[in-house]
Amino acid sequence: IELFLQMQKSDVQPDVFTLPLVLRACAGSGATNCGVSAHGSCVKLGMERNLFVTSALVFMYVTFGRVFDAREVFDGMPHRDAVLWTAMLAGYAQHEAPMMGLSVF
């Protein structure tokens, strides 16, 4: 996360490989504010429709317990792969909302 912050200070733009790693690091360390800021970078850079980035966003929000935010990201994707579906379904199961998991179908 510290390297990501240094990247931003140096005006180096993250890419579709960097951002998922940053999002997972934020999720793993509980850095909610950094994760939300990284999500903002995804939007600003036009990467919010990339499957790798979106899957990492869903995973991050689910990890933070923000299933509603994860679902908003999920719903914004016109094309979803198995990883994205699994992340969303696992989020509902993890937060004891299995019936909501069925609603994604």
- In the chain, what are the domain boundaries? 2-102
Using a cut of 0.95, tell me whether the model's pTM lies above it: no
User: What value does the mean pLDDT take over residues 31-46?
Assistant: 94
Distance CA 80, CA 89 (A): 13
- Residue 96's pLDDT band, with cuts at 50, 70 and 90, is low
Average pLDDT over all residues of the chain: 88
The whole-number pLDDT of residue 100 equals 59
The whole-number pLDDT of residue 90 equals 86
* Lowest model confidence (mean pLDDT) among 4-13, 23-32, 47-56, 88-97: 88-97
Reading the block at residue 11, the tokens are: 């005006």
Cα distances (Å, whole numbers) of residue 56 to 9, 10, 99: 23, 24, 23
Q: Amino acid letter at 56? A: A
